[in-house]
């Protein structure tokens, strides 16, 4: 395949491909790199240029690109079985992975429902919570608490529980209504003037409590990104916040749906953010890191309590009538099993400790730059918000695309980055070496200086 020259590949891309989240008028005809190879923390294009992958193939990659052990697990699986189905059959990989996921999940989560991507994993959680309440004899509990600035995916159901206007506003007439709770986005929060994430978090909790108390009889569930609102700009929740949310869900008989699609699989320094916070959600959605960034796979985990509400005679129609064609695909499950093996054999979480400390230090150092308004950090996640004026927190107009320009500048330093508006995202493969992390942060710093100093 790669014998085609770069110009031909770009032409085919421009002529036939429609890219996600992309204004194609800007894309077509631009000299976009055509990635043909991957190696460790690097992506390599058709001209042989190497880019340090600062966003881990859109927040999915764990052990680096083309990791030998995962490649081998996939090759071995392909020669045994490519796919069967979980509708009426099972397969060895899907069964083994379900057990392994339950072993590492926050205690109490004991059943695994597979799908193929993060949006469906959340949507399944929403449907499960809804049907759970019906089958508990609580037909009035049909609504969901969702958060401002939340992102749970792009299908209609997962958009409904999202809260990012630029992505979701157009589709509003299509979406089911939710009860919106405030994000802990201190920076933009109107609840208090504190601009102190800790205080802000507590004010947000008060408002959440008020909403839950008011709406309890009609609430089926609450959908939350634990620890960090990812696509919303890497907004980090204050310590203790999640525990309080769990308590409120218990108090008001509301199922807690935790979307760990972005933060699961080691990203926060712990295997799962909920476990790090000392809580077990009723439903947990996993995807991005699950197959180490190799193949589309997702899982929605739940507790015995929820599972049991679906138990009965067939004629009672308590079955969870949901399923995707590629559910439990054995090749994807084999990749996920190899991923989990590597967490152990490479002592991945232990090895993150110094990298997390270094990332934190470098992010804080960036506050010395005049146009860095805020830095956010959790585990191996960084967010750097660029502002026109730090004192007044006056943002750059979105039309100026400062984030995009910094990321394009970073290409000159051999980095691949993808921003969230004016927030520069740091989300490298967890396997990144200390030296590479230094190269990444040096390049980001230089690129910010170059663009914001203009």
> To 5 degrees, how large is the angle CA 349–CA 339–CA 243?
50
The nearer residue to ligand PLP, 332 or 451, going by C-beta atoms, is 332
Residue 11 assigned to a binding site: no
Q: How far is the CB of 153 from ligand PLP (least distance, A)?
A: 3
Q: Are 158 and 171 in contact (CB under 8 A)?
A: no
Q: Quote the CA–CA distance of 175 and 361 in Å, as a whole number.
A: 41
The nearer residue to ligand PLP, 64 or 153, going by C-beta atoms, is 153
Residue 143 assigned to a binding site: no
Number of Cβ atoms within 10 Å of the Cβ of 25? 7
Number of Cβ atoms within 10 Å of the Cβ of 200? 23
Number of Cβ atoms within 10 Å of the Cβ of 242? 22
Residue 325 assigned to a binding site: yes
Q: How far is the CB of 446 from ligand PLP (least distance, A)?
A: 28
Residue 119 assigned to a binding site: yes
Q: Residue 26: exposed, middle, or buried by beta-carbon count in 10 A (0-12, 13-18, 19+)? A: exposed
* Closest residue by beta carbon to ligand PLP: 118
**DSSP β-bridge partners for residue 179:** 145
CA-closest candidate to residue 238, choices 185, 190, 288, 188: 185
Classify residue 408 as left (phi > 0), alpha (psi -120 to 50) or beta. Answer: alpha
Q: How far is the CB of 257 from ligand PLP (least distance, A)?
A: 11
The residue ranges that bind ligand PLP (CB under 6 A) are: 117-119, 122, 151-153, 225, 230-231, 259, 261-262, 287-288
Residue 323 assigned to a binding site: yes
The nearer residue to ligand PLP, 197 or 230, going by C-beta atoms, is 230
Structure tokens belonging to residue 337:
């099993």
Residue 328 assigned to a binding site: no
The nearer residue to ligand PLP, 230 or 379, going by C-beta atoms, is 230
Q: How far is the CB of 308 from ligand PLP (least distance, A)?
A: 27
The nearer residue to ligand PLP, 125 or 395, going by C-beta atoms, is 125
Q: Are 171 and 138 in contact (CB under 8 A)?
A: no
**DSSP β-bridge partners for residue 143:** 219
Q: How far is the CB of 263 from ligand PLP (least distance, A)?
A: 7
Residue 108 assigned to a binding site: no
**Is residue 129 classed as helix, strand or coil in its secondary structure?**
helix
Residue 190 assigned to a binding site: no
The nearer residue to ligand PLP, 255 or 258, going by C-beta atoms, is 258
The nearer residue to ligand PLP, 383 or 443, going by C-beta atoms, is 383
The nearer residue to ligand PLP, 318 or 418, going by C-beta atoms, is 418
Structure tokens belonging to residue 316:
């009672």
Q: How far is the CB of 7 from ligand PLP (least distance, A)?
A: 31
Q: How far is the CB of 136 from ligand PLP (least distance, A)?
A: 26
Residue 118 assigned to a binding site: yes
Q: How far is the CB of 118 from ligand PLP (least distance, A)?
A: 2
The nearer residue to ligand PLP, 146 or 262, going by C-beta atoms, is 262
Per-residue HEC secondary structure of 57-109 comes to HHHCCCCCECCHHHHHHHHHHHCCCCCCCCCCCCCHHHHHHHHHHHHHCCCCE
Q: How far is the CB of 175 from ligand PLP (least distance, A)?
A: 15
CA-closest candidate to residue 123, choices 101, 155, 148: 155
CA-closest candidate to residue 217, choices 141, 142, 127: 141
Q: Residue 147: exposed, middle, or buried by beta-carbon count in 10 A (0-12, 13-18, 19+)? A: buried
* Residue 221, H or E segment: strand 219-224
Binding site for pyridoxal 5'-phosphate: which residues? 118-119, 259, 324-325
Binding site for substrate: which residues? 151, 288, 323, 418
Binding site: which residues? 118-119, 151, 259, 288, 323-325, 418
């Amino acid at each position: 395949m790669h014998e085609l020259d770069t110009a031909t590949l770009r032409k085919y891309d421009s002529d036939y491909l429609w890219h996600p989240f992309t204004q194609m008028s800007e894309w077509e005809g631009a000299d976009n790199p055509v990635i043909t190879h991957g190696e460790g923390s690097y992506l390599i294009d058709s001209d042989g240029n190497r880019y340090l992958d600062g966003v881990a193939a859109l927040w999915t990659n764990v052990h680096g690109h083309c990791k030998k052990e995962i490649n081998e697990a996939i090759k071995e699986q392909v020669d045994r079985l490519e796919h069967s189905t979980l509708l009426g059959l099972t397969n060895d990989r899907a069964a083994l992975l379900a057990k392994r996921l339950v072993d590492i999940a926050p205690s109490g989560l004991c059943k695994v429902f597979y799908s193929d991507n993060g949006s469906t994993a959340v949507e399944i959680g929403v449907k499960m919570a809804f049907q759970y309440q019906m089958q508990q004899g609580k037909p009035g509990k049909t609504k969901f608490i969702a958060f401002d600035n939340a992102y749970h995916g792009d299908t209609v159901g997962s958009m409904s529980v999202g809260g990012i206007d630029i992505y979701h506003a157009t589709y509003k007439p299509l979406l089911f209504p939710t009860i919106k709770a405030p994000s802990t986005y201190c920076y933009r929060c109107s609840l208090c003037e504190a601009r102190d994430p800790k205080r802000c978090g507590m004010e947000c909790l008060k408002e959440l409590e008020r909403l839950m108390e008011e709406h309890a009889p009609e609430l089926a569930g609450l959908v939350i990104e634990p620890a960090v609102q990812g696509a919303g700009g890497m907004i980090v929740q204050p310590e203790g916040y999640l525990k309080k949310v769990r308590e409120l869900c218990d108090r008001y008989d509301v199922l807690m749906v935790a979307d760990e699609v972005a933060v699961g699989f080691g990203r926060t320094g712990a295997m799962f953010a909920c476990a790090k916070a000392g809580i077990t959600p009723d439903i947990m959605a996993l995807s991005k890191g699950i197959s180490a960034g190799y193949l589309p796979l997702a899982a929605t985990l739940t507790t015995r309590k929820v599972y049991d509400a679906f138990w009965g005679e067939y004629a009672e129609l308590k079955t969870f009538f949901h399923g995707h064609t590629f559910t439990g695909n054995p090749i994807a499950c084999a990749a996920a099993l190899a991923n989990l093996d590597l967490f152990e054999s490479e002592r991945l979480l232990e090895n993150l400790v110094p990298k997390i400390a270094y990332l934190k230090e470098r992010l804080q150092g960036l506050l010395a730059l005049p146009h860095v308004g805020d830095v956010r950090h959790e585990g191996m996640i960084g967010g750097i918000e660029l502002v026109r004026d730090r004192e007044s927190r006056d943002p750059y107009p979105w039309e100026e695309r400062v984030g995009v320009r910094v990321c394009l500048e970073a290409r000159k330093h051999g980095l691949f980055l993808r921003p969230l508006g004016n927030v520069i995202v740091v989300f490298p493969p967890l396997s990144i070496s200390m030296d590479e992390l230094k190269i990444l942060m040096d390049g980001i710093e230089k690129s910010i200086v170059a663009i914001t100093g203009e």
